[in-house]
């Protein structure tokens, strides 16, 4: 599958909300994380990384998120919608997106009131995370911006 390029808006949003940490840490759900929110695997040896490694991991993770968006969304998206959903999938995972009412409504063309669907995804480890409220708001605002450049 050939993916449309990852829009800079998606990369900027991910960097903004994930931040950069070159040493492995536990995220709010207790998962080992490094770089720009890259989930570590047990035994992967990623304890301390360079900026170049963080950038490469981000590129790979963005490509996986974009592939999931293209796979699960059956309607055309403009660049801002594509960017918004890449950030959402990057953060919440492809499985969560696949099962979401958000995805279902987008695929049915029900884009008029998606805010309640975005704001369902603000929990980490069973509690509301203020940073996720801010992130979902930003994704919603970006999703609703109109452009004429279609990506899928």
**Which residue ranges in the chain fall short of pLDDT 70?**
1, 146-152
Determine the pLDDT at residue 43.
Answer: 87
The whole-number pLDDT of residue 150 equals 41
**Domain ranges across the chain:** 8-144
d(CA 73, CA 56): 26
Res 19: pLDDT:
96
List the beta bridge partners of residue 34.
Answer: 38
8-144: in CATH 1.10.530.40: yes
């009131």: which residue's tokens? 113
Is 18 a residue of the active site? yes
Query: In Å, how far are 31, 109, 139, 143 from 112, measured between CA atoms?
Result: 35, 8, 15, 11
Among the listed residues 18, 110, 117, 139, the single catalytic one is 18
Q: What is the pTM of this model?
A: 0.92
Q: Identify the pLDDT of residue 83.
A: 97
What is the Cα–Cα distance from 25 to 33, expressed in whole angstroms?
A: 5
Q: What is the pLDDT of residue 17?
A: 97
């Amino acid at each position: 599958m050939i993916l449309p390029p990852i829009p800079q808006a998606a990369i900027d949003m991910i960097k903004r909300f994930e931040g950069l940490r070159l040493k492995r840490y536990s995220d709010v759900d207790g998962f080992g994380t490094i770089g720009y929110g890259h989930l570590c695997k047990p035994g992967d040896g990623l304890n301390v990384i360079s900026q170049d490694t963080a950038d490469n991991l981000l590129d790979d993770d963005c490509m996986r998120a974009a592939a999931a968006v293209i796979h699960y969304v059956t309607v055309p998206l403009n660049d801002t919608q594509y960017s918004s959903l890449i950030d959402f999938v990057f953060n919440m995972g492809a499985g969560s997106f696949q099962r979401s009412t958000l995805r279902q409504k987008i695929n049915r063309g029900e884009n008029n009131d998606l805010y309640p669907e975005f704001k369902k995804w603000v929990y980490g480890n069973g509690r509301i995370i203020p940073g996720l409220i801010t992130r979902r708001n930003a994704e919603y605002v970006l999703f609703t911006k109109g452009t004429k450049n279609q990506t899928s």
